[in-house]
Amino acid sequence: MTKVLISDKMDPKAAAIFRERGIEVDEKPGLTPDELKAIIGDYDGLAIRSATKATKGLLEAATNLKVVGRAGIGVDNVDIPAATARGVVVMNTPFGNSITTAEHAIALMFALARQLPEADASTQAGKWEKNRFMGVEVTGKTLGLIGCGNIGSIVATRALGLKMKVAAFDPFLTPERAVELGVDKVELDELLRRADFITLHTPLTDQTRNVLSRENLGKTKKGVRIINCARGGLIDEAALKDALESGQVAGAALDVFESEPATASPLFGTPGFISTPHLGASTSEAQVNVAIQVAEQMSDFLLLGGVTNAINMPSLTAEEAPRLKPYMSLAEKLGKLVGQILGEDVRSVSVEVEGAAAQLNQKPITGAVLAGLMGTYSQTVNMVNAPYLAKERGLDVREVRHDREGDYHTLVAVEVGTSKGTVRVAGTLFGNKAPRLVELFGVEVEAELQGTMIYIVNTDTPGFIGRLGTALGEAGINIATFNLGRREALGEAVALVAVDGDVPVEMVATLAKLEGVRDVVPLRF
């Protein structure tokens, strides 16, 4: 039975969803790393929040683990490369706390504009410093968004509702989407120059680390106010302190820090600085939403093969999975075929789709080809780690989608670059569900790829089939199916022979000695 472990405190609705879907679930928050490592091998899925650290060591002990689900956005506590290398899908729930995080950013913007924390502390201390706290209106001011994805776009709509002007810097924001949102798409330098308030809504990557560096803080409009509810490390905190003290930055509010928990920071106590302890997702609604979402996503994956919000694998919805399943089976077999025949001599891979296949999500098809191909070199390969392994081997992988009509209503082809040139195999689906090979290295061969088979290249001469059948018969190997193709009469011919049982090494050597045989490769599907 499929088993999932919830190792962090999570809303009870998560466990309820797993049980409703027929998945056994254990709730064990608060385990020490050693305690978790001792039991993780029993589970197919691990549902976590931020407390559990899915380290390389833990993942190595998780011998049955198929998926890690993070109830929340950040996956800093998961070793993504280690999970990918072991074929473990890592999912998060980027939309469950989007509104909550966006609202927190707006709340901090108002707190900065009206100096609310300082005014509260002063008033409760018995002072009445009405003239000390002179705020600014947000109406008519320009809000600069660094990142205009899911959360950033929500902040934009809220700011526009407050009659603010919004400028956004985001390389992935299309001009059409900017018009739809009602924001100005600008470069970073222009945003820094124009913005009265700046909010950050981008993941932490090599490209975004210290996006508000000392240099960039110096480019901002004097008196700017900065809010960060995204990730620590996006702002040079030492430079921000200096900018606050010099008056270049009038105020800053951080919900996230480069090092967390932030029990000490040079920013603490700096005039104009507000901080909260990573509260962006801390509403009861958000906690329920992310718990429900992670349970539904993990259940769909474990039971139906659906992949939603995965960090290290293309998405494949539970609705898409049944339709794509036969294509993925075909693609994996094509990958296995070329991998077993060509061995180490694979330099590049191009996955091509046409007809009905061209209307589908191609990423899972490509992933299945790579899983079949890389299975030639490793016994622990799946669609998660196959692209990673292909990259490790230096393979150039391309995807091609053809709109043209071909000889088949649907076709998946794999073109492979080798030291001797390019070769191609292709397959289709019979009845939209039965995978069938239709082309093998330029030769038309119709065959089911299943069980044990023998690939033979020979000179097309009279009597060869008889000699081949006799050799197999004398060895006690029964032929299940016999599939033939040739380039031209008396030229090069190809045979794919399905047999019952295994093909011993000695049999391969015997077949290789038959008159006219150029190549013999045993295959397993």
Q: Percent helix, strand, coil in the chain (nearest 5)?
A: 35, 25, 40
**C-beta of residue 345 within 8 angstroms of C-beta of residue 395:** no
At 103, list the tokens.
Answer: 């609202």
HSE-up of 234 (CA within 13 Å, CB side)? 20
At 316, list the tokens.
Answer: 């494949």
Which residues on adjacent β-strands are paired with residue 224?
Answer: 249
Give φ, ψ of 429 to 5 degrees: -115, 130
**C-beta of residue 446 within 8 angstroms of C-beta of residue 440:** no
Buried b (16+ CB within 10 A) or exposed e, 39-50: ebeebbbbbbbb
CA distances for 477 relative to 64, 138, 485, 494, 498, angstroms: 36, 83, 22, 19, 10
Q: Residue 385 and residue 387: Cα distance in Å, rounded?
A: 6
**C-beta of residue 7 within 8 angstroms of C-beta of residue 32:** no
124's CB contacts (< 8 A; 6+ apart) are: none
Catalytic residue positions, numbered? 231, 260, 278
Angle at 348 between CA 368 and CA 392, to 5 degrees: 75
Report helix, strand or coil for 160: helix
